[in-house]
Amino acid sequence: MSARARLWREAATVLLAAGGASGGGSASPSSPSARRFDYQVLLLRRSPRSAFLPSAHVFPGGVADAADFSPEWWALLPGPAPLCGLGPRRGPKAPLFAAERPELGPALPGDVAFRLCAIRETFEEAGLLLVTERDQAEAAIAASSSSEGFTPRLLPPEQLPLTGPELAEWRRKVQRQPGVFLALCRRLGLVPNIWALREWSNWLTPRALAGKGGRRYDTAFFLCCLAHAPPPHPPHGAHEQDGEVTACQWSSPLEAFELFKSQDIWIAPPQFYELCRLCNFSTLHDLHTFGSERALEGCERWMPVVLVASDGQIHILPGDELYPEDPDLTGERKPTLTSNKKIEELMKGVKKLHRMVLRGPHNITVYANIQQKYKHINPQHMDSKNGNSADCNSRL
């Protein structure tokens, strides 16, 4: 899509949190993991044939397409161009949002385009349409001066002016040609709910963790809170099993960790870190309020620097004592740091911690005692035995 694509494929994902139970999780309503949270998060299982993160459970999302930047969206989305009424931001933009893309000609800004990308990909992968009526969107824009703002409601599937089979056919068309998503919204007479997506974080894939073919991603993470969890629609049929997603499920943050620890699912480090952050919020209201207020402050771009020890890896993040002043974003100098010391030795005496320690595929510990930029929150540390909060030496 741009010169940036030579290093990273630009992408967007959404932490979709919804109140109530919709099925698809493994915890009973009386289990500790179900009682602690009044919301669940949507996780998708990637195909084992995927070139990047095969078989991992991830949040819905994917690579941005030129169609997500199409100026034709301005005619459909309410609010003044170019930002279509998205609220103001007090802090700086992450480079992903601020980048210019002259090769696309007249184009939507990244603030709008990457939200459209996340919404489109959620429809492609889980069959969920994050759309709303135009008048509801206009009300959201009018309320944008409020820190918490107003989130327009999402239409349930039974209120969409299309039958299930018709919607499934549109989904297949969008999967084949992303530009069809605009035609679908026009057909429905509805607008993608870009105003419900709050900036959350921005992760770069380091060269050391690139998948097959050296794939690296610059991914915008958004937060979207729904009052009720709609049932996802995983792919069916052999031809769709060859796609990127093979299953969908709603899980509370703690339930997801229980499944990870029992090795029923595998969660990649960035998603693991973000689920740790969600564990700070037991209610959907608190999560929505925090996400809405924090998004006004701006967004910091993170690229983990990988340190390979004799008994595992340390993924060092900005703010940590060992994080380099000039990190090698391109990976041209050296993709990883190496040490013949054990992780325990490398942890001694370090006062400013912001890192993930990987001792195995299902043994990740997050350490964070720094003051995060832009009023973000450190991840919660969990006790693997009972799921209660614990000190920074606890391990999931």
Query: pLDDT grade, residue 76 (50/70/90)?
Result: very high
Inter-axis angle of helices 180-188 and 164-176, to 10 degrees? 150
Q: d(Cα 340, Cα 343) in Å, to the nearest integer?
A: 9
According to the model, what pLDDT value does residue 180 have?
97
> What does the pLDDT average to over 282-300?
94
According to the model, what pLDDT value does residue 330 have?
74
Specify the range with the lowest mean pLDDT, choosing from 129-133, 175-179, 334-338: 334-338
Task: Judge whether 140 and 85 are in contact, CB under 8 Å.
Answer: yes
**pLDDT above 90 for 388:** no
Q: Mean pLDDT: which of 104-108, 360-364, 374-378, 387-391 is highest?
A: 374-378
**What sign does the CA torsion over 241, 243, 248, 254 have?**
positive
DSSP 262-302: TTSS-B-HHHHHHHHHHTT-SSHHHHHHHHHHHGGG---EE
Closest to 356 in 3D by CA, of 332, 374, 381: 381
**pLDDT above 60 for 31:** no
For 3-301, CATH number out of 3.40.640.10, 2.40.50.140, 3.90.550.10, 3.90.79.10 equals: 3.90.79.10
Please give the single-letter amino acid code of residue 117.
C
Query: pLDDT grade, residue 87 (50/70/90)?
Result: confident
Q: d(Cα 348, Cα 266) in Å, to the nearest integer?
A: 29
According to the model, what pLDDT value does residue 382 have?
56
According to the model, what pLDDT value does residue 369 have?
95
According to the model, what pLDDT value does residue 385 have?
37
Q: d(Cα 218, Cα 324) in Å, to the nearest integer?
A: 19
Structure tokens at 314: 């340390």
pLDDT tens, position by position, 189-200: 999 999 999 999
> What does the pLDDT average to over 231-256?
74
According to the model, what pLDDT value does residue 29 have?
46
Query: pLDDT grade, residue 301 (50/70/90)?
Result: very high
Characterize 214-237 residue by residue with b for buried, 16 or more Cβ atoms within 10 angstroms of its Cβ, and e for exposed: eebbbbbbbbbbbeebbebbbbee
Query: pLDDT grade, residue 211 (50/70/90)?
Result: low
Query: pLDDT grade, residue 24 (50/70/90)?
Result: very low
DSSP 56-78: -EE-SEEE--GGGG-GGGGGTS-
**pLDDT above 80 for 288:** yes
Domain ranges of the chain: 3-301, 302-375
Across all residues in the chain, what is the average pLDDT? 84
